Chains A and B, each alone.
Chain A
Amino acid sequence: MQRLIWTLLLLSMPAFAELKEFKLVLKDHLFYPARMEVPSGEKIRLLVHNLDGDPEEFDSFDLNREKVLFPGRINVIYVGPLAPGEYFFFGEFAPDTARGTLVAVPIEEQRP
C-alpha cells in the first residue's frame, strides 16, 4: 500500500514541478492579501497559512475548491489554469469577514 502511494506521488511529481507559489494568510478571520494577482493560463500552488486558533473552510464556487484550513497549519490548494478574470473565495465558517479575490491576469500584464 505504502509503495503504491509513493509510486502515485512520484508519478504526480512532474505536475507539481515548477509551479508558481502564492501565499495567503488567514488571521483574525481575514485573508491577507484579500486581493491577489495570479498568472492566468497556468496551474498555481496556493499556500494558505491559518494563523487563527479555529479551523476554517476555504470555499470558492468560482474556483470549485473546498478545503478545511486547520488552525496553525499550512494548507496547499492547487488552482487553475485560470482564464483571465476575478475569482471570489471565502471562509465558510466566517463568510462575513474571511473573503478574498484571486485576479487572474495574463503574465505580461502582471504587476511586479
Chain B
Amino acid sequence: MINSLLVTINQLLPPAVLLVFALVLHVKPLGRKRWLILALWLVVPTLSYILALEQISQWFDYLGFEYSQMLLVALLVLAALSGLALRLWASFVLLLASASCLYLSHYLPWLLQGHMELARALGVCLGVGIVGSFAILFYFFLTWLAEHYGPWGVLGLFSMHIAGSMVGMLDIAAGAGLLTMPSPLVDLRTLLDEHSIFGRLAKVVVGYEATPSSLSLWVYILTLLALLGAANWQRSRQKCDI
C-alpha cells in the first residue's frame, strides 16, 4: 500500500501542479462547453498514446519512447510560450494535453495492470487524495500570490516549472544516448536533496536540481528568459491596446 501511495504521489503531482498553474493563469472562467472540449482533448490523446506506447517503445532501435517523450516536452514548452505570448485557448488545451500524455504515460500503464489488490487500490485512493489536497492548497496559494503581489509571482513560478521540464528533456536525451551530460557544477544535496520530500516538491514546482550541470543550467536559464520575455511582451501589448 505504501508503495502504491508513493508511486501515485510521485507520478500525479507534476500534472496536478501544471493543471493548477494553467487554471490560475487562464483568467477567463471555463464554461461547460470548454470543459467538455478540454476533457475530450485530455482523454483521447492520452489514452491513444498510452495504448500505442508498447509499440512505439520498440521503434527507432528501442528508443521510440524517448523520442516521443522529447516531442511531448517540446510541445509543452511551445504551448507555454504561445500561451504566455498570445493567451490562446488552443495553447491552453495543447499545454494540458501534452502534459497529460507526458506525465501519465509512466503512471497509467502501471495503474491499468490486470490485477488490483485492495492494498494497492487503497494506496492509489490515498495518493489521489493527498495530491488533490495539495493541488487545492497550491491553487489558493497562487491566487493569493497574484492578488497580493501582482501576476509576476505566478508567471515566474510557472516559467520555472516549464524550464524544469525542459531540463528533464536533457535527461531523456541522455538516456537515449543523444548527448552526454557534463559533470555537475555544484552539489547541493547536503542543503536540499532532490529526492527528499521538500526536494521533490521543489523539483515539481520550480524544476529544482541538486546537482545541475552547466548544460542544464544554461537550458533552464534560457527557457526561463524566453518564457518571461513572452509574458512581458504580451503584457506590454495589452497596455498599448488600453
- Interface positions of A (Cβ within 8 A of B): 5, 9, 12, 15-16, 19, 43, 45, 47, 53-55, 57, 61, 64-68, 70-71, 73-78, 80-81, 92-96
Contact = CB atoms under 8 A, between A and B. Distances in A.
The 8 lowest CB-CB distance pairs between A and B, nearest first, are: A78-B177, A76-B62, A55-B109, A70-B54, A54-B113, A65-B175, A93-B110, A70-B57
Contacts of A16: 61, 177
A55 B110 contact: yes
B61 A76 contact: yes
Nearest to B10: A92
Given A66-B106, A73-B54, 14 more contacts: A5-B67, A54-B110, A54-B113, A65-B171, A67-B65, A68-B65, A68-B105, A70-B53, A70-B57, A71-B54, A76-B61, A76-B62, A78-B175, A93-B3
Contacts of B58: 73-74
Contacts of B175: 65-67, 77-78
B195 interface: yes
Nearest to A11: B178
B7 interface: yes
B63 interface: yes
Contacts of A80: 180
Q: Indicate the member of B60, B176, B177, B181 with the most A CB atoms within 10 Å.
A: B177
Contacts of B185: none
Report the contact-size class of chain B (Cβ under 8 Å from the partner). 20 to 34
| Interface SS of chain B | helix
Contacts of B63: 76
Interface in B61-86: 61-63, 65-67
A64 B195 contact: no
Contacts of A66: 106, 171, 175
B30 interface: no
A78 B113 CA distance: 27
A45 B178 CA distance: 12
B174 interface: yes
A9 B60 contact: yes
B177 A15 contact: yes
Given A75-B57, A76-B62, A45 B106 contact: no
Contacts of A77: 175
Contacts of A65: 171, 175
A30 B161 CA distance: 35
B67 A15 contact: no
29 contacts: A5-B60, A12-B177, A16-B177, A43-B180, A45-B177, A47-B62, A54-B113, A55-B109, A55-B113, A57-B106, A64-B174, A65-B175, A66-B106, A66-B175, A67-B66, A67-B175, A70-B54, A70-B109, A73-B54, A73-B57, A74-B62, A75-B65, A76-B177, A78-B176, A78-B177, A80-B180, A81-B180, A92-B7, A93-B3
A55 B65 CA distance: 14
A69 to B, nearest CB: 9
